[in-house]
Amino acid sequence: MEHIEKFLRIASMIGFPVSFDNAKILDFGCGSGTAVVEARAAGLDVFGCDIADGLGSAPRALVEEGVLRTIDMSNYEIPFKEDEFDMVVSHQVLEHVQNYDEVLLEIRRVLKAGGVSIHIFSSRYTPIEPHAYVPLATIVRSMSWLKFWAYLGIRNEYQKALPARKVAELNHEYLHTCTNYLTKGELRRQMSKSFATVLCVEREYLAAGKGYGPKIAKLPFLPYLFGALVHKVIALA
C-alpha cells in the first residue's frame, strides 16, 4: 500500500492529481499482488497484471475475479480494455523490459486521456546490480567479470550453494535476457514515442517519502544523484 500511496502523492505534486476515492489504478508488473491486496483493503480500486511466472503465488480469488490478470507474452497485450485507468504504475519492472515500444504503447492504450503513468526502477549506473548483486553488472556483463565476483563469493539469495562457475553462467544468462538498463537519453527517446510528456521526478519521489527523503529532496544535486545511482523515477502523460 505504501508505494501506491507514494505514487498518488507524486502524481499530485507534478500536476496530475488522482482521486483516492474513485480513481482506477493499474499496478503493472504486480508480482504476487501484495500491493494490490493492501491497496484494495484500504479502499482503492487497484488492479494488477504480470506474466504468468510473476503471478505464481498471487491470491487465487483475485485472479479468478479478474483483479489480477496474466499478460499473454505470445501476443503482447495488457489484459484490460482501452482508456480504463486513471493511473498506471510500476515498481522495479522497467529494467526488465526488452521491447519498450510494445510495452509503452500498451500502457498508453489502457491509460485514460489526462491520466498519468509513473515508474520506479533501478538506474543503469547503480553501483551494485540489484538481482545478481554483482558490482557494475548493469553495464559490465562479460563472463570473465561475472566469474571474478562469483569466485570472490558474491551470490544472490538463490545461489548460496552453487559453485562459482554455475553462478556466473546463471548471472550471464539472466542479465542478458531479463534485464535492460538504458541510459537516460535512451529512456527519453523510447518513452517519447508513446507519450508527449516524459518527466524525471526523483525529487518528487523523495519528497513524497518518509524519513530522510523529504530532507534530501530539498538539497541541490542529491535528487539527481539518487536518479543516477539508485532509482530512476519517471512520469509519463
Each residue's pLDDT tens digit, 160-199: 999 999 999 999 999 999 999 999 999 999 999 999 999 9
Strands 111-122 and 68-70: unpaired
Find the angle CA(227)-CA(196)-CA(74) to the nearest 5 degrees.
85
The pLDDT tens digits for 62-99 are 888 999 999 988 889 999 999 999 999 999 999 999 99
pLDDT value at residue 136:
98
3-state secondary structure of 176: helix
What average pLDDT score do residues 29-43 get?
92
pTM: 0.94
Helix axes 100-110, 184-192, angle to 10 degrees: 50
- Summarised one tens digit per residue, pLDDT across range 115-158 is 999 999 999 999 999 999 999 999 999 999 999 999 999 999 99
Does residue 29 surpass a pLDDT of 90?
yes
- Residue pair 89/11 in contact (Cβ under 8 Å)? The answer is no
Domain positions in the chain are: 2-123+181-236, 125-179
Please give the order of strands across the beta sheet that includes 111-122.
68-70, 45-50, 24-28, 85-91, 111-122, 231-236, 198-200
Looking at domain 2-123+181-236, its CATH class is: alpha beta
